[in-house]
Amino acid sequence: MTLELICLGTGHGTTHAFEGQPSSSFAVLLGGEPWLLVDCGTGVIRSAWAHLGRLPTTVFITHNHLDHTGELPYLAKALEARPRVLAHPDVIHLLQTVRLHDAPHDQQRMIGQIDWVVADDQQQIALEDGWRLDLHPAQHGYTCYGFVLSRGGQPLFSYSADSGYNAAHYAFLSQALFMIVDARANAGKYHASFEEVDDFAQAHPQHTLRVVHHGGAQHTFRAPNITLWQTGNRLTVVP
Ligand SMILES: [Zn+2]
Ligand SMILES: [Zn+2]
């Protein structure tokens, strides 16, 4: 079965508020059908409708920043079905106690609208048909997890989530030959720089990298195997 990724947004904290651009998110398509949404920040529901026609019912959440979870409270209504939300238990705790805390009665209603799937002690989330996410902590200013998605034990693609360049994190992610990574023009502790991910790509010529969270920046990388991902663009992982 084919596995494609489609970019739904490349924004960061201010991009939706100031410019109306969707926050960083992408979806996994199996056999051309939307299967998994990765993050649900501000602007993402409309982008998913525009590019996919419908939202996947399964959503992985990396962390509780607004540009990754801002539209989580509206997911059940947008889907007209029960969403299944996958995340690390520490992230789920923050989602339930902070993001969904509009008012006490509303909080319990919204928590109850979602099927929550928590990573186990091995940091794994096992799904149907041999699919599995292996989580790994990102280097970020808020509890945040990236992952490798595998099927039948074979790593297929990975996502850094919001993260500074961290050698252990990138080594974990590099199990998969396709990598979606967070980077921006200037290096910071909590977001990698274009230079850092360019160096990584040059050192890993067999990998294919796409950069999100750049907020519409322009950049030309030296390595041929890395580019800025653009909203609406697809990446074929399994043809
Ligand atoms: Zn972010
Ligand atoms: Zn963040």
Reduced 3-state DSSP string for the chain = CCEEEEEEECECCCHHHHHCCCECEEEEEECCEEEEEECCCCCHHHHHHHHHCCCCCEEECCCCCHHHHCCHHHHHHHHCCCCEEEECHHHHHHHHHHHCCCCHHHHHHHHHCCEEEECCCCCEEECHHHEEEEEEECCCCCCCEEEEEEECCEEEEEECCCCCCCHHHHHHHCCCCEEEEEEECCCCCCCEEHHHHHHHHHHCCCCEEEEECCCCCCCCCCCCCEEECCCCCEEEEEC
As given in the structure block, the two tokens for residue 203 are 């050192």
pLDDT of residue 6: 98
CA of 133 to the centre of ligand 2 (A): 20
CA of 129 to the centre of ligand 1 (A): 30
CA of 219 to the centre of ligand 2 (A): 21
CA of 57 to the centre of ligand 2 (A): 23
Rounded Cα–Cα distance for residues 150 and 78 (Å): 28
CA of 89 to the centre of ligand 2 (A): 17
> pLDDT confidence of 106, banded at 50, 70, 90?
confident
CA of 67 to the centre of ligand 2 (A): 7
80: left (phi over 0), alpha (psi -120 to 50) or beta: left
CA of 152 to the centre of ligand 1 (A): 30
> pLDDT confidence of 125, banded at 50, 70, 90?
very high
Rounded Cα–Cα distance for residues 151 and 129 (Å): 8
Q: What is the pLDDT of residues 1-38, one digit of tens each?
A: 999 999 999 999 899 999 999 999 999 999 999 999 99
CATH numbers and ranges of domains, the chain: 3-238 (3.60.15.10)
Q: What ligand has the least distance to the C-alpha of 140? A: 2
Name the phi and psi angles at 84, rounded to 5. Answer: -110, 115
Rounded Cα–Cα distance for residues 204 and 223 (Å): 9
* 91 CB-contact burial (10 Å; exposed 0-12 / middle 13-18 / buried 19+): buried
Cβ neighbours, 10 Å, residue 227: 17
Q: What is the pLDDT of residues 77-87, one digit of tens each?
A: 999 889 999 99
CA of 185 to the centre of ligand 1 (A): 14
CA of 148 to the centre of ligand 1 (A): 19
Rg from Cα positions in the chain: 17
Q: Which of 134, 228, 220 is nearest to 173 (CA)?
A: 134
pTM higher than 0.95 for the full model?
yes
CA of 176 to the centre of ligand 1 (A): 22
- Alpha carbon 237 to chain centroid, angstroms: 16
CA of 64 to the centre of ligand 1 (A): 9
Q: What is the pLDDT of residues 126-151, one digit of tens each?
A: 999 999 999 999 999 999 999 999 99
Q: Is the pLDDT of residue 235 over 80?
A: yes
Rounded Cα–Cα distance for residues 8 and 234 (Å): 10
Q: Is the pLDDT of residue 172 over 80?
A: yes
As given in the structure block, the two tokens for residue 211 are 């950069």
Is 91:61 a contact under the CB 8 Å cutoff? yes
